[in-house]
Structure 1
Amino acid sequence: MKTYYYEKTTDDVVNSAQQDFALPDDYQILPTSLPSRIWNKIARILATGFGWIYSRGFLHVHVVGKEKLQQIHNQGYFVYGNHTQPMGDVFTPLTVFPIKNFYAIAGQANWGIPFIGKHLVRYGGLPVGNDIKQSIKLIKAIQTIISDKKGVVLIYPEAHVWPYYTQIRPFDETSMHFPVSLNAPSFTATSTYRKSKLFKRPKITVYIDGPFYPNKNLSKKQAQKNLYEQIWKSLTSRAKLSNYNYYNYEKTTRNKK
């Protein structure tokens, strides 16, 4: 069994080929030109097709609770998930949520991944800003997606991917900033792992829960805390359904990776 060593639960145990990749300040997040919009649609269709083959055929993903998404009509929403699949967390959501206006917040290192970063992530990813100017651009893009486009924004609040990890790593209450600020509903998508009778890799079941709404009677900080508690409870309760550790994680004071 492969072992990942870590010092803190915020450690990045998997590094991409260009971990220090950074986008220029003039990077356009949402496609505006006609060629960009056309490729946007094509890229989403191709990625979704691959997603069905990869997530269902290779990872053996089963989704429970997808019908809960139908409670939201003509309104944008957020999704919070545990980050446990390097590629699966990119493609599996495309088989669960509407692909037309689906986006995921991600670190800029993902744009440095060969081919995927250039041709796919750029049309479905929302890059975390490295400075104030880029952060403002991200905020404006999310506002547009949720309000004008009535889209879906996926957030992995744990930030770094830990392959096949079966617990929920701590994350900050500020992760609830966007749904509270935009008064938008949220769902959780929790990946769980159970031993397979047919395959070496565990069976993956993704549970969809929600919607969870911000409490408008509270202050912004209190509303973030309240929503955080709902999201945390949902993720951690579902994570307890995992019964198989495909990889081992060992805490150490010395980085052995």
Structure 2
Amino acid sequence: MVDNNKKVDHDFQLLKNVKEVKLAKNYNFFNHNPFFKLLSFFTVLLIKILGFYVFGVIFRGLRIKGKKNLKHLKKERFILVSNHVHVLDAIWIGSLIFPRKIYVTMLQSNLGLPFVGKILRVAGGIPIPETKELMVHFLDELKTELSKKTPVLVMPEASIKPYHVGIRKFLSGAFRFAADADAKILPFVYVYKNPNFIQKLYKKKPRIHLHILEPVEVVLGETKQQTLTLTKNKVHQIMSDYFNKHSDLKEENYNETAEIN
């Protein structure tokens, strides 16, 4: 997720040949065309089979904990947040919630990824506009969508850093969305588990587990900026404490340049 007018440096790139993307003034961020929605349904279904079950569960050892907390999504408005540690981590969360509809914010430039950009868009990817004019339009559509209790996933770390140990610094966008739309925040935390003896024979990377935490309410401050700061810091602390308690690889044992082979 990108704060308006703030550039994000990426530690990881899917493809180098990214086309420049410019959004039209009347760009439809949340496409409700019935044919588009039907195509989206079958696209996510295929992604869930191949990306979630086959690659995630079988090859990456993905396991889910805290599914009971998904019940909250039926009752109230929610912004979902997660650490950004794998190219498929947002897809795994979307697949987990499927068939319930979920939208995932992404960089506007992701639309320029050859082939992948179109798949992301059809699957529920929502580009964050890079101009103030479109940002106003985007926020209006976002509030409308959240009022329907449609979950929106935002990655507050912004960029992907594969298998990073710990929770990185958050940007404010996700918490601004929650405050503006009177929505709660549902944290998802990816933690790492050491492979067992058999898994060590064919897998060097740790297993990935996805844990769903309890909802967090926006912390109201005396000013809007204070509200964003207090809420962002609270969610970051909750996710950091949870990661270091439940992950086999813990933040204090790694520095910023540490890598998992």
Deviations 1:198-236 (A, max 9, x none): 132211111211211124575433322232122111211
Match in the other structure for 1:5: none
| Distance across 2 between alignment mates of 1:11 and 1:56 | 30
| Cα distance between partner residues in 1 of 2:33 and 2:93 | 26
User: Which of the numbers 223, 226, 231 marks the counterpart of 1:227?
Assistant: 231
Secondary structure at the counterpart of residue 126 of structure 1 = strand
Deviation at 1:92, TM superposition (A): 0.7
Q: Following TM superposition, by how much is the alpha carbon of 1:13 offset from its aligned partner in structure 2, in angstroms?
A: 1.5
Is 1:39 the counterpart of 2:39? The answer is yes
Is 1:54 aligned to 2:55, yes or no?
yes
Provide the alpha-carbon RMSD of the alignment: 2.5
Equivalent residue in structure 2 for 1:11, among 4, 9, 12: 9
User: Which of 238, 243, 247 is the equivalent residue of 2:248?
Assistant: 243
Report SS of the residue matched to 1:30: coil
Shift of 1:164: 0.4
Measure the CA separation in 1 of the matches of 2:223 and 2:55.
43
Confirm whether residue 69 of structure 1 aligns to residue 70 of structure 2: yes
> How far apart, CA to CA, are the structure 1 residues paired with 2:255 and 2:194?
15
**Which region of structure 1 is more displaced relative to structure 2, 112-121 or 195-204?**
112-121
- SS of the residue corresponding to residue 74 of structure 2 reads coil
Q: Tell me which residue corresponds to 1:157.
A: 156
User: Residue in 2 aligned with 1:4?
Assistant: none
In the TM superposition, residue 85 of structure 1 has moved relative to its aligned partner by 0.2
**Are the structure 2 counterparts of residues 155 and 243 from structure 1 closer, same or farther at C-alpha, using a change threshold of 3 Å?**
same
Q: What TM-score do you get using the length of structure 2 for normalisation?
A: 0.81
Give the distance between the partners of 2:10 and 2:120, measured in 1 at CA.
Answer: 23
Q: Which runs of 5+ in 2 are unaligned?
A: 1-7
Distance 2:219 2:241 in 1: 22
Q: Distance in 2 between matches of 1:129 and 1:215?
A: 26
CA distance in 2, matches of 1:144, 1:99: 20
Residue number among 206, 209, 218 corresponding to 1:205 in the alignment: 209
3-state SS, counterpart of residue 101 of structure 1: coil
Paired position in structure 1 for 2:111: 111
Q: CA deviation at 1:19?
A: 4.4
Q: C-alpha distance in 1, partners of 2:154/2:106? A: 8
State the partner residue of 2:194. Answer: 195
The alignment's TM-score, normalised by the length of structure 1, stands at: 0.82
CA–CA distance in 1 between the matches of 2:114 and 2:58?
23
Q: Distance in 1 between matches of 2:108 and 2:135?
A: 12
> 1 CA distance for matches of 2:11 and 2:73?
36
Determine the C-alpha separation between the residues in 2 that align with 1:119 and 1:97. 18
Determine which structure has greater relative contact order: mean sequence separation of CA pairs < 8 Å that are 6+ residues apart, divided by chain length: 1
Structure 1 gap segments, 5+ residues each:
1-9, 252-257
Structure 2 counterpart of 1:62, which letter? R
CA offsets, 1:93-139, max 9 Å, x none? 12322443201111123222333321343441110111123212321
**What is the one-letter code of the residue matched to 2:42?**
I
Identity of aligned residues (%): 20
Give the AA of the match of 1:165: H
Alignment-derived partner of residue 3 in structure 1:
none
Distance 2:103 2:117 in 1: 14
Q: Is 26-35 or 181-190 further displaced after alignment?
A: 26-35
Q: 2:44 is paired with a residue of what secondary structure? A: helix
Would the aligned equivalents of 1:29 and 1:122 in 2 still touch at CA under 8 Å?
A: no
Task: State the Cα deviation string for residues 163-221 of structure 1 (Å, max 9, x = none).
Answer: 00012111234541011111111111111112212132211111211211124575433
- 8 Å Cα contact 1:77/1:146 also seen in 2: yes
